[in-house]
């Protein structure tokens, strides 16, 4: 356990950051899951920008790596392109 005052504070701050990062990460994963479950192309088009924004914010905050964010966005865009050609 931490003995110094500053170290104790750092432990408290790290716990807050971890909880916050877990919340944002889980919220984004749920949004991605919901987006993938959509059947209508119009609804997908409307929700895609907000989900992409959430992914970008995770990468900016350092919750996920920027390459992972790029891969996620690419997969979502590829899915909408496939739906457009299939329809």
Measured between alpha carbons, how far is 4 from 17 in angstroms, rounded to an integer? Answer: 20
pTM beyond 0.95, yes or no: no
Percent of residues, the chain, with pLDDT higher than 70: 94
Predicted pLDDT at 87:
61
Predicted pLDDT at 82:
74
pLDDT mean by block of 10 residues, the chain; 87 residues: 89 96 97 92 91 97 96 92 70
Domains of the chain: 5-86 (1.20.58.110)
**Hey, what are 72's tokens?**
């996620």
Query: Residue 82, SS3?
Result: helix
């Amino acid at each position: 356990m931490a003995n110094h005052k500053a170290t104790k504070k750092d432990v408290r701050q790290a716990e807050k950051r971890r909880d916050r990062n877990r919340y944002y990460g889980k919220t984004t994963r749920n949004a991605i899951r919901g987006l993938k479950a959509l059947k209508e192309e119009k609804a997908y088009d409307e929700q895609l920008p907000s989900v992409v924004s959430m992914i970008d914010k995770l990468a900016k905050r350092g919750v996920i790596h920027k390459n992972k964010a790029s891969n996620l966005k690419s997969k979502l865009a590829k899915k909408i392109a496939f739906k457009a050609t299939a329809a």
